[in-house]
Every structure is written in C-alpha cells, then in structure tokens.
Amino acid sequence: MKNLAYLAIFAILATSCKSDTSTDPAPFPKVDRTVVFDGISDSTLPGDNFYDHVNKTWYENTPIADDQVGVGAYRFLNIPQQELLRKILEEVSQNENAQGTIEQQVGDFYASGMDTLKIDERGISPIKPILARIGAVNDIKSMMVFVADQIKTGDYSIAAPYISPDQKNSTINILHFGQSGLGLPDRDYYFATDSSTIAVQEAYKKYLTTLFELVDEDNAFAKAKTVYDIEKQLAQSHKTRVERRNVTKNYNMLAVSSLNKSQQNLGWKTMLSNLGATTDSVDVSQPGYYKKLNAMLMTVPLKDWKLYLMANSISTHSNLLSTPFQDASFAYSKVLSGQGEQQPRSKVMTNRVDDQLGFALGQLYVKRYFKEDAKKRALDLVNNFQKTLEKRINNLEWMSDSTKVKAVEKLYAINKKIGYPDVWRVYDADIKREAFFENVVALRQNDYDYELAKLGKAPNKDEWFTTPSTVTAYYNPSANEIVFPAGILQAPYFDLYADDAVNYGGIGMVIGHEFTHAFDDQGAQFDKDGNVSNWWTKEDYTKFQAKTQQIIDQYSNFTVLDDLHLNGALTVGENTADNGGIAIAYDAFQMTEQGKGSEKIGGYTPEQRFFLSVARIWRVKMRDEFLRNYVTTDPHSPPTWRVNGPLMNFTPFYEAFDVKEGQANFKPEADRIRIW
C-alpha cells in the first residue's frame, strides 16, 4: 500500500546474540592505494567551520548539473549509481532471448517508457476512463467507492491506508490510516507567508490550472482555486511533522464498528470492504484528519469534490502521460526544487524501474557490481561497532544499571542486513513493451496486492524496504534491525583497500549512526522485540529527555539560509544519531592498529584522517530552493550541520585539531552534549 518508507512501523523479531567483550577488529587488507584529502581550505580554521575547512574548495568549484538539484555524496551519490543501472537496462532491453526472465521484465518496462513517440501519440486517452468514472460519481457513497478503487492502483487521494506491524504487538501486521489529501509537500506550505513559500503556492496553483486545461476543462483557474481551497481546509487538520514524531500519540487503535458509527460519511465498513481489507479494528494514526474529512464530505459540495479528485488523479498520472503533462509537472517542481531542466528520458526511466521493479533490477546490479568481500568486511565492522556501543552504554554516568541491562539486551537483539536480501521479491505483473501507462498501473496494483497479503500475518523477516543499489542505510525500530544496502558500501563511505581511519570515519559513522537510532527519541520507546514499551526507569528517561532537549536547542540555533533556522525538534532523532555515530565510530577506530598508532599519512595523524573522512562523506551541494524544502520537510540536518554539529560536542575532535576558545564552533567542555 502506501508509506513503505515509514520504517518505524515495520517489525522483524531480531535474533539475540551473546555479548562478546572483544573489541579489537580484524584489520583491513594491506593498503595498496592511499586516499588523499585534497582541497583543504587553509582560509577556514577547523575550529571555525570544519565542514568548510574540508569541503569549501570542492564546493566552490563543483557545479550542479542543470537536470539535478544537488551534487556530491549522500543521496546524490545515487546519480552515478543510476548510470550503472541505466547501462544494465539499455543492455537487457535489447535482449531478444530473455523471455520469462527478470531481464525481460525490467527490460520491457524500461523500453515501454522510452517510447516517447507512442506516449505522446496516445495523449490523454490513458486517463480518460478514470475521468469518466469521476464524472459518473453522483453521491458521497459512490465517491468513496471511487476513492477506494483508485487506492488499489496507487492513486491515493483523501485516504492513506498502509499495512505494517502493530506497535504494541510486533508479531502481527495490522491496517493503519494516515493523514492525506494534500498536493503541496507539507501542511505548513498552505499557511506560511514568506516570499519563497508564496512562490511555491502560486506555482502549484498554476500547475493545477494547467492540468484542467490539458483535459479540456473550461474555467480552469477557478477550478484550480476550488481544489486548492479544499486542500487548505484538509491541511488545517494535519499534524505537523514534529507532532508526528510522538510515537504514542500517533497510535490510535479504534474499532471499525465505532468508526463506522461516528464517521458515517466515510463509511468505514464499506471502504474497508472495497479495499479488500478484512479487519475489526484499525490504527488511525492522525484521527483529527479523518474527523475533519468526515465533516467536509458534507460541507463541501459534491461537484467540488469531483474537481478535487480529477486534479488529484491527473497529477498522480501526469508523468505517465504525454509531454505537455510532463512539462506542467516539471514547471511546478522547478520552483519547488530549483532544478534547471528536465532529466533525459533515460534517467527518468532508470529511476522509475528502480522505484517499481527495484528488487528485480537489484539482482542484476548485485551480480555485476557488488563484491562479496565488501559484505563480509561490513559485517565484521557492524559486529565490532555493536561491541563498542555496549562498552559506551555500560560506561554511561547518567544511566542506572537496571536500564543499562535492558539497553544492552536491545542492542544485541538487533538484526543485521547487509548488501542485498537473502530472498528476492517477485513482481507478479504482466509487462508489455508497448503499454507504458498500463505497466505502471499494473505494478502499482501488484504493490497493493503484495502489501494487502500481509494483513493479519506475521511480518516477513527477510523483507527489505530499500533496493540494494540505493545509497542509504536505515534502522527499523519495529523490526529492531539495521540495514546497509550494497549501494552505500562504496567510496567515499567504504573502500576495501583504504586505511582504517578513512573507513571508520566514513561507513563507520553511518554504522554508528544507525545503531544510535535504536536509542534516539523515537527508537528509545521500542523494546528489543520491536514493541512500544517502557524499558526505562522513570528517572533515567527523564534524564534522557533532558539530553535530547539539549540537542533540540543546539540545532535550533543553526542558520541555513538567510534567517531560515533548522527545526531542532524535527531533526532531533537524526542529530542524536549523528552525535552518537561519530562517538561510536571513533571509539571503534581507537581499537584498530592504526588508531593505536601515530603514523601520519599525507601529513595527517590517524585521528585527523578519521575526522577528515567524516567531513568528506557529507560533501554535498544543493540548490537553495531544494534546501529550503529540505529544511521544512526532512528530519535530517543539512550536510554542514551533520559535520559541525556533532563535532562541536566531541572533545577528541578538539584535541586532534587544537580547537581553541574564541573559534566560532568552540564550546566549553561542560557544555558539550553527550548522550550515547
């Protein structure tokens, strides 16, 4: 169904491991190439701005491609990854002897989307049946039937169901409903009055107007305004992203019979029946939204709701239709992201295949580009970091012994997934080379069926929620698992032949970061089995909350653009993980042969190379428009503060670079925040 990226709701019971007190890891292979940290800016002292000290020269001399919103590491390392995937797709799409294979499936899907002449020739015809169904809606009951039917093909509008583990019983998957209904990225976009947000609002209204024009609707501007006004009413009921971080307040298990009685306009029993979901109760994550929606179904005229559904469905399918629809979509996104020009069709289709057939394409990627030695070495590192964090937990001054025991139990119950899945997902969809629109809809339908089949069953312990080629990593609290796909096991994060300082400051920080997520403001509320459960003493949890508040306060003072500040409450989980990640990685590095020594490489001590590597993995440049949206909607801090923020709190960094009082990022030792 929807919201698969919301990993806090997935659960796989982790396997307990026996604690091993050894922390001296096996060394990396002998160095046969030296990582050089070039472009260091002597004009910026490490203690003033370490991110700029390491990355300023690169930043000033690296352009962002016109068809991109950013360049560098982190999520933008997926750009060269996509080129590898494109090469695979170009090859398999021309293979005429691949019948019945995954090569045929991904190749035919790619080929169908590359046939832009056919797509343009079809014009608006693929979406006409959907518009006809909207036109036939004659009451709220038939409208809700349409809403449910469209969800099954990936066209979500006013309802957002998804299936994932029960937060209080992680051994079973249940049905959840989240808030929905908006076209702008976030509720706050409807109410902010700064010039940048107003520009986005106007671009979105123009986009809606264009969509109506493209399907030959008259009075397009007035109809777009009607749609926007409905969305703004819905936005008033939305919880903010900060409010949605509260795990317990966003879990509301309600009986379907009770919902059906109190929200008769929504018709919960009929809606669930139309969705094919058999259940007596659902978790309504944000109940205020559905209460508001139920009322609006009566106060908003049916003819206006039909305009809303028309705009929503056209927008959902706009990038599957002819060039004018794609141009309209890009014109809006350009204002939102700052991207200068549309990507070539090959890039667009590579991203789409990765999005909709990612585990089929991932099998081909792993066979061609992933070294099994990297998987083995990464597992060694993860095991070593687990032991390192155990030591740090046991040495905490602010935590009682009884809570430490529970924390260590949870730590060793974490399940570790590296590289790629042990069991590959199979996509049961009929893909035709000449039917791009229908292929996308069929795959969305397959996704829906795949998710629906989980309802009422135990979570699949083998399931992954990101594709192997993606440059990312994640911790899943409901499953108590950490996942490191093949995509991130490459430079600058990981180099099988680099010195330990480079790897511990690179992939090491990422590993430490993901482990710390098990104990951030949200993860700390889940026990070792993935259930929301209080395993803390009251006194310890009060101390923990005070420390996370310090993180919130620190990061809320950081300025990104002009007077735009970070939202410390939104980013507290990621910031806590960044601070813990560096500390864990550094402790683990100190146990290596290089970390115990003092030999310089390239003029830098082992400790300095560790921190240089930390700064280098966040070497990212973004367009200002994209960055503004990022700060509003993303729980991660921008790259500058993923480096400078944690290092301001970390005394070994001060010692490595002789950071002194009076330098911009200096904090007195008593003010440096340490949680884990």
pLDDT at 33: 62
Q: Does residue 277 fall inside a structural domain? A: yes
In a domain, 593, yes or no: yes
The pLDDT value recorded for residue 304 is: 98
Percent helix, strand, coil in the chain (nearest 5)?
55, 10, 40
Report whether pLDDT(6) > 50: no
For the four alpha carbons of 185, 188, 192 and 194, in that order, the dihedral sign comes to negative
Residues 57 and 199 in one domain: no
Residue 196 lies in a domain: yes
**By percentage, how much of the chain surpasses pLDDT 90?**
93
In a domain, 429, yes or no: no
Per-residue pLDDT tens over the stretch 412-424: 999 999 999 999 9
Q: What mean pLDDT comes out for the span 384-406?
A: 97
Q: What is the DSSP secondary-structure string of 371-429?
A: -HHHHHHHHHHHHHHHHHHHHHHHT-SSS-HHHHHHHHHHHHT-EEEEES-SS------
* Same domain for 310 and 226: yes
- As a whole number, mean pLDDT of residues 380-402 equals 96
Together in a domain, 279 and 396: no
Q: Is a pLDDT exceeding 80 seen at residue 19?
A: no
Predicted confidence (pLDDT) per residue in 213-226, tens digit: 999 999 999 999 99
Q: Over 90: is that where the pLDDT of 88 sits? A: yes
What percent of the chain is modeled with pLDDT above 70?
A: 95
For residues 628 and 498, membership in a common domain is answered with: yes
Between residues 23 and 660, the one the model is more confident about: 660
Q: Is the pLDDT of residue 542 over 70?
A: yes
Residues 506 and 389 in one domain: yes
CA atoms of 321 and 465, how far apart (whole Å): 28
- pLDDT(184) > 50: yes
pLDDT at 23 over 50: no
* CATH number of the domain enclosing 615: 3.40.390.10
The edge-to-edge listing of strands for the beta sheet with 415-419 is 415-419, 481-485, 474-476
At 11, the pLDDT band (50, 70, 90 cuts) reads very low
Domain end (from 299, 320, 341): 320
What span, in angstroms and rounded, lies between the C-alpha atoms of 630 and 608? 30
State whether 268 and 398 are in the same domain. no
pLDDT surpasses 70 at 28: no
Contact by Cβ (8 Å): 303, 310: no
Confidence of residue 97 (pLDDT cuts 50, 70, 90): confident
- Give the confidence band of 144 by pLDDT, cuts at 50, 70, 90: very high
User: Is the same domain home to 163 and 242?
Assistant: yes
For residue 1, pLDDT over 80 is answered with no
Is residue 287 domain-shared with residue 377, that is, in the same domain?
Answer: no
With respect to residue 21, please indicate whether it lies within any of the assigned structural domains. no
Residue 20 has pLDDT above 90, yes or no: no
**493 and 624 inside one domain:** yes
Whether residue 57 is found in the same domain as residue 131: no
What's the whole-number mean pLDDT along residues 193-204?
A: 97
Distance CA 377, CA 117 (A): 47
User: In terms of pLDDT, which residue wins out, 33 or 31?
Assistant: 33
| Closest by Cα among 125, 471, 149 to 317 | 125
Residue 409 lies in a domain: yes
What average pLDDT does the segment 376-400 reach?
Answer: 96
Are 311 and 379 in the same domain?
A: no
Q: What is the CATH number of the domain that holds 283?
A: 1.10.1380.10
On the question of pLDDT at 516 being above 50, the answer is: yes
The predicted model scores a pTM of 0.92
**List of residues 6+ apart from 665 with CB closer than 8 A:** 47, 48, 49, 50, 644, 647, 648, 659
- Judge if 263 and 380 occupy the same domain: no
> Taking 70 as the threshold, does the pLDDT of residue 2 lie above it?
no
Average pLDDT for the chain:
94
Tell me, yes or no, whether 573 lies in a domain. Answer: yes
pLDDT confidence of residue 650? 98
Q: How many domains does the chain have?
A: 2
Structure tokens at 86: 């494109």
Judge whether residue 162 has pLDDT over 50.
Answer: yes
pLDDT of residue 17: 33
Nearest to 653 by CA among 597, 600, 598, 613: 613
- The string of DSSP letters for 5-62 reads T-GGG---PPPP--------PPPPPPPSSPPP-----TTS-TTT-HHHHHHHHHHHH-
The pLDDT, as a whole number, for residue 398 is 97
**Cis peptide, bond prior to residue 492, ω within 30 of zero:** yes
Task: Residue 169: give the domain boundaries.
Answer: 124-320
Average pLDDT over residues 472-485: 97
Q: Which residue has the higher pLDDT, 14 or 461?
A: 461
Nearest-angstrom CA–CA distance, 295 and 263:
8
Question: Which pLDDT belongs to residue 96?
Answer: 76
pLDDT in tens, 601-657: 999 999 999 999 999 999 999 999 999 999 999 999 999 999 999 999 999 999 999
The answer as to whether 221 is a domain residue is yes
Mean pLDDT of 167-178: 97
How many residues in the chain? 676
Question: Is the confidence at residue 14, as pLDDT, over 70?
Answer: no
Identify the pLDDT of residue 99. 84
pLDDT tens-digit series, residues 305-350: 999 999 999 999 999 999 999 999 999 999 999 999 999 999 999 9
Of the candidate ranges 236-240, 559-563, 627-631, 670-674, the one whose mean pLDDT is the lowest: 559-563
Distance of alpha carbon 107 from alpha carbon 508, whole angstroms? 36
The pLDDT of residue 246 is above 70: yes
